Amino acid sequence: MKHIIPNIAVRDCSAALDYYKNIFCAEIKNIQFGDNNPNFKGLEGKIVHSELHINNHCIMYFIDMLTENTTGPNPSVILELESEDELNRIYNELREDATIFFELQKNFLGDFHAVLRDKFGALWALNYSEHCCKNNHS
């Protein structure tokens, strides 16, 4: 196996990509729309593939929710962050208009942890462990 890349369905993917680009200091690549593609008839104007590149090791795919009734079968995306400052910055930005399931706090393992569903419908679990091996990016 080379990689595991989440494919996250959100409401208003174009706005979500701009939002996440700023939060994660990322680059948006390879946006594909359903237009002029018989495989995506009825999905004209919808983003059917896009890539958010945070760094060489962290890439997420995003698509528009394909029906209005979709609440999203998205699993939570767990972000293991490099510092408490990074965790606080990302948490504070994502929490705007979000549903908070687990406020940012130290959990029973001594890690800082939070869980929220953001305004675009993506479910995020944010984690920072002070005792985790530092600079282990293999």
Mean pLDDT over 79-98 rounds to 95
- 91-133: pLDDT as tens digits: 999 999 999 999 999 987 789 999 999 999 999 999 999 875 4
The phi, psi pair for 101, rounded to 5°, reads -95, -30
DSSP labels for 26-94? -EEEEEEESTT-GGGTT-TTSEEEEEEESSSS-EEEEEE-SSTT----PPPEEEE-S-HHHHHHHHHHH
- 8-56: pLDDT as tens digits: 999 999 999 999 999 999 999 999 999 988 888 888 999 999 999 999 8
Please indicate, yes or no, whether the overall pTM of this predicted structure exceeds 0.95: no
**pLDDT at position 108, please?**
79
The whole-chain average pLDDT of the chain stands at 88
Give dist(CA 63, CA 51) in Å, integer. 9
> What token pair was written down for 75?
């699993």
The phi, psi pair for 9, rounded to 5°, reads -90, 125
- 36-45: pLDDT as tens digits: 888 888 889 9
Please tell me which residue, 134 or 91, carries the higher pLDDT value: 91
Angle at 65 (CA atoms; ends 46, 104), nearest 5 degrees: 130
Domains annotated for the chain, with CATH where assigned, are 1-71 (3.30.720.100), 75-138 (3.10.180.10)
